[in-house]
Chains A and B, each alone.
Chain A
Amino acid sequence: MSRTDATVHCSSRVADGLRFIGRNRNTKRPHWGAGLSVLDSSTARLPLVERKALAIEKVLTEMPVAIRRHELIVGVAAHSNLLQKSELPEYATEAEIEQAARRMTAPQSIYGHCSPAYGTFLRLGLAGLQESARSKRNGDPAWYGAVSRAVGAVRSLAGRYEHLARRMADEERDEDRRAELLEIAQVLAHLQNRPPATFRQALQAVWLAHISFTSTMEFLPLGRLDQYLWPYLKADLERGIIAPEGAQEMVDLFWVKCNDLLEDVRLQDYSPHLSTLTTREWLVCDIGQKSVYLGGRTTPDRMVLGHGTSQQFLQTVTVAGLTPDGADGTNPLTYMCLDATRRLGVPQPCLYVRLHKQSPVELIERAADTIRAGCVGPTIYNDDVLVPAFESMGIPTEHARDYTSDGCWEPHIQGRTSYKHTWVSVAEALDRVMDWNRWQSVSVPYYRADMDPFSDCEPIDPYGFSRFEEVMQAVKDTLERYIEGFIRVRDQFEDGRLYEIAPLPLLSAFAEGPLDSGVDVSRGGFPYTFHMPELSGLSHAADSLAVIKKLCFEEQAVSWPDLVRAVRENWRDREALRHLVRTRVPAYGNDSDYADEIASELVEHYIECIRKYGDRSQSSIYYLSGIATYENYPELGHMVGATPDGRMSGEPLSSNASPSIGRAVSGQTAAVNSYLKLPLGKLTGGSILDLSIEAKSGLLTHLESFIRSFLQGGGNILSISINDSRKLRAAQKEPEKYRDLRVRVGGHDAYFVDLPPEHQELQIRRIEQYG
């Protein structure tokens, strides 16, 4: 739906907001916050956590404030971007930074990806939260002081906005707007000293907290918004202080707000900025944003591929699903959230809907309507598979039922989870088996020498294999090395080293547990620490092994050494062979048991490895298993050489648990069936299937049934994009005409024209393959 259509269905105030977002997105804005510092002679001797709190305070008390004419919910985050250097004021000394770097951490080592405990926050309010930090003394007083200061900074921000609203009211000539500005000021005055009492106050409170995090480099999801806000709306509706239309407008305005930070990607000049980063900064970027990848390093071009789409800021909202006591949580606010997404035509927030056996029929219909109208959301979660998967790890049922999106698509327990992830690529494992030496000569060292899991490995010689089983075993062994190596390194990071350089006093106040225990969330203050070494490259490994098994060892139509050579030479002068492997062997995603069984065997092995090396008795971390790439599939493919499925060296991998792009040629039902054969119930972290459906497809009429089949078949997470490939092609040529066109990019929604060209091409190919 285009924005112009949408304006018909929303209030004029919301329409103004949408127009503002359109203009704002097209305006190059200065990045605020560079070059600030809280270090001086008086602060130098304070503990680092207190200096971090001072840095947070400096941002929230000095960053620009603005109220736009259409707004009722106010607050603008300091503009920052995942690709920018830290905009936190300097708070650590050179010596501290040097010392941290030796342990592979930095002030920028902030992970985001965890939902705050907004329900608890709303009950206590800012003052209550601060009081709680002041009154409890179970640990380091300096830490409690820092937490109190950080929360106080959010109160100050509320005060700044109250002040601004009053000043603007004084100058406002329009009577109605003046009254609104005074109302805004009243809401903010209330929030500084008391917990929110109304729906509007609660929404404003959440937004203030959210922008406080975003402005201090902490990118967080919004969690189960319809659950924690419904009690406020319900009471307001019962007391008659808000009408349903008024509530919908508030939700709409909140949705518009979530798009504040969008910026036309063509205005962002990434490369020069990236090239100024030193190796050390790359290293910490990698840790900070993408968690620890065996100390892995990245290169600027990989980084652009991966983050060229990062306009999402992890702002997800999860609605409906089971409540902690096992009832269905669907409520009128659930539908308002779906309606906002359906009508407004904006990519943020990224919406997830939780479904289960007892979900109302209407909910599935409205979710399907939203997908049909909005092209990209909501993404479907299946409670009936995901809740038992959490329970199987020993998570108590009431917590398991309270899962929500972490900001990408991974489910985690709301307000209680430190969530981190990395990738273990089975395509990379296969690549190592095919071409061991190439990996030794990669120009940028892929691993720190002391963390390379293959440093003590004998080189693999594929020419020596005479049976398919030997190839399979070598791939499995290599994958196992990755997982073992990763977990070994990962465990080291739970020794408190993050707290020493990047403590999180603000987030600690918004989590269940830390205020009582006195333990910062950066050193285990959350009840759960989840870490998912995510399997990527599954379809390519499965398709490749199917080729090897069938063509080389069963039919002997292709000689195995010949295939190895062709792959090592990136199919140079071997077009005929490359086509043969792509056309003669069915690929994962076509409901062919041949390839699907290989895929399942790989996933079973992966799960076994996670269980073996991530044994809970040995570690405080819950190691989760899942199949994932998010939007990083071009980046993940960048390092992987040619694969026997006909993929060229450096080509993107398939997204998440989806079939290889261009290979699912048997219809969407076949793609779902292939996916359902994987041991999904054992994947504790989930696995998402990304499907595209052509806008004209008759299948869209039956989307509700399609979703229901997916749920009944035991699928755990499903994203559906509806698009017209011809329209996407046209948008490539004339981006100006198609600025509203949205697509799903692995883990989130994005404007198509804002994507890097490589991503655009993949989007089109993914639709076209279904014919």
Chain B
Amino acid sequence: MNMEDRLQGLVFSVSRASGEDGPGIRTTVFLEGCPLRCVWCHSPQSQGEAVQRLSFYANRCIGCHACLAACPTRVHEVVDGRRVLSWEKCRTCGACVDACPSGALEMVGRPMTVEEVVDEVSRDMLFYRSSGGGVTFSGGEPTAQPEFVRACAGRCRELGIHTALDTCGYAQRQVFEELLPVFDLVLYDIKHMDSQRHRQLTGVGNDLVLENLRYVDAVGVPVWIRVPLIPGCNDGQDNIEGLADLLKSLRCVERVSLLSYNTAAGARYPVIGKRFNLEVPELSADREQQIVESLAKTGVEVELRR
């Protein structure tokens, strides 16, 4: 085993038998850490630095209070018969997670070595071969752990596994320079074409995102553009037209996937002691169709994922 195989990353889940993140039957490795704060984000546990975070699933709690005794910093308390967590006190030592018998407490972010990731990914080789599938590194934001992702994807590729990078595009150019050689496909998110609006919705402008996309396109790696279609945020015609213009200027885009808003997006917030504030109106079927048609005019294949 070489040094690279022992390299560790923080993974928040490995999802097998996925049919959504690229061609064929795939395993998607979700990595911790993301520089964006999208208002519609459905995995808030991965926002910010790639660090471990405590999570608490109240529905699994059996009220045994083993965590109260285990925690050295008194994160867990019962106040007036109600279970209360002082999230800010948590030093993520994991003592309460070990003590919890019911899985109500979990540490998000499992340290995994490259070897462990590759071992799990390669278990579904039978399915990749028959379906043209493979592995997708997603998140969070996989470019937040570039060395680890590069090592994992490189090893998978050596084994003949198709590799895809699912990225928001917000990373230094150098990161893409290092990562692209080990990827067969890039799933590239475009959230908004207007930089200011992009900043309102995600916390950062889109200049770097678009610049990197042009770089990826220039390198010549196949790209699937992914657009989370959030009514009231980025479904306006101006944005769609802007997106269509962008598509026309690129040569390696094979497909555009419009991802419908995940109505369960708010579910994970209370689990990590956060609040979810977005209210999303419904998108009419007519408007959906209009959007699909506007984009399809560019000649790129458009799919709508509900």
Q: Are A706 and B127 in contact (CB under 8 A)?
A: yes
Interface centre among B18, B102, B130, B132 (most CB of A within 10 A): B130
Q: Are B103 and A669 in contact (CB under 8 A)?
A: no
B residues less than 8 Å from A579 (CB atoms): 62, 101-103
Query: What per-residue 1/0 map shows which CB atoms of B1-28 lie under 8 Å from chain A?
Result: 0000000000000011111100011010
Q: Are A700 and B19 in contact (CB under 8 A)?
A: yes
Q: Are A708 and B103 in contact (CB under 8 A)?
A: no
Q: Are A577 and B101 in contact (CB under 8 A)?
A: yes
Q: Is A696 an interface residue (CB 8 A)?
A: yes
Q: Are B16 and A702 in contact (CB under 8 A)?
A: no
Number of A-B contacts (CB under 8 A): 81
Least Cβ–Cβ distance between B248 and chain A, in angstroms: 28
Least Cβ–Cβ distance between B138 and chain A, in angstroms: 14
Q: Is B169 an interface residue (CB 8 A)?
A: no
B residues less than 8 Å from A668 (CB atoms): 16-17
Query: What per-residue 1/0 map shows which CB atoms of B185-214 lie under 8 Å from chain A?
Result: 000000000000000000000000000000
Q: Is B123 an interface residue (CB 8 A)?
A: yes
On A, residues with C-beta under 8 Å from B are 575-577, 579-580, 583, 591, 666-670, 672-673, 696-702, 705-706, 708-709, 712-713, 770
Q: Are A712 and B126 in contact (CB under 8 A)?
A: yes
Least Cβ–Cβ distance between A10 and chain B, in angstroms: 28
Known: A669-B124, A705-B24. A583 touches B16 (CB 8 A): no
Q: Is B33 an interface residue (CB 8 A)?
A: no
Q: Is B66 an interface residue (CB 8 A)?
A: yes
Cross-chain pairs A/B with CB under 8 angstroms, 22 sampled: A576-B101, A577-B101, A579-B62, A579-B103, A583-B101, A591-B123, A667-B15, A668-B16, A669-B25, A670-B16, A670-B124, A696-B306, A697-B19, A698-B19, A699-B19, A705-B25, A705-B131, A708-B130, A709-B129, A709-B130, A709-B131, A713-B126
Query: What per-residue 1/0 map shows which CB atoms of B35-73 lie under 8 Å from chain A?
Result: 000000000000000000000000000101010000000
A673–B16 CA distance with the chains assembled, in angstroms: 12
Instruction: Report which of B16, B18, B127 forms a contact with A705, defined as CB distance below 8 A.
Output: B127
B residues less than 8 Å from A706 (CB atoms): 25, 127, 130-131
Q: Are A583 and B102 in contact (CB under 8 A)?
A: yes
Interface centre among B24, B102, B129, B132 (most CB of A within 10 A): B102
B residues less than 8 Å from A575 (CB atoms): 62, 64, 101-102
A52–B150 CA distance with the chains assembled, in angstroms: 77
A residues less than 8 Å from B133 (CB atoms): 702, 705
Q: Are A702 and B19 in contact (CB under 8 A)?
A: yes
Least Cβ–Cβ distance between B146 and chain A, in angstroms: 27
A residues less than 8 Å from B18 (CB atoms): 667, 698-699
A577–B24 CA distance with the chains assembled, in angstroms: 41
Query: What per-residue 1/0 map shows which CB atoms of B274-306 lie under 8 Å from chain A?
Result: 000000000000000000000000000000001
Which 4 interchain pairs have the tightest Cβ spacing?
A: A698-B19, A705-B131, A667-B17, A667-B16
Least Cβ–Cβ distance between B191 and chain A, in angstroms: 22
A696–B103 CA distance with the chains assembled, in angstroms: 27
Known: A667-B17, A699-B25. A709 touches B101 (CB 8 A): no
A residues less than 8 Å from B306 (CB atoms): 696
Q: Are B16 and A669 in contact (CB under 8 A)?
A: yes
A residues less than 8 Å from B131 (CB atoms): 702, 705-706, 709
B residues less than 8 Å from A709 (CB atoms): 25, 126-127, 129-131
B residues less than 8 Å from A770 (CB atoms): 17
B60, closest chain A residue (CB): A579
A575–B16 CA distance with the chains assembled, in angstroms: 30
Least Cβ–Cβ distance between A503 and chain B, in angstroms: 50
A residues less than 8 Å from B129 (CB atoms): 709
A591–B125 CA distance with the chains assembled, in angstroms: 13
Least Cβ–Cβ distance between B102 and chain A, in angstroms: 4
Known: A579-B101, A673-B123, A708-B130. A698 touches B20 (CB 8 A): yes
Least Cβ–Cβ distance between A576 and chain B, in angstroms: 4
Least Cβ–Cβ distance between A429 and chain B, in angstroms: 28
A672–B66 CA distance with the chains assembled, in angstroms: 36
Least Cβ–Cβ distance between A587 and chain B, in angstroms: 13
A580–B129 CA distance with the chains assembled, in angstroms: 37
A591–B14 CA distance with the chains assembled, in angstroms: 13
A713–B128 CA distance with the chains assembled, in angstroms: 12
Interface centre among B17, B126, B129, B133 (most CB of A within 10 A): B17
B residues less than 8 Å from A673 (CB atoms): 123-124, 126
A706–B20 CA distance with the chains assembled, in angstroms: 15
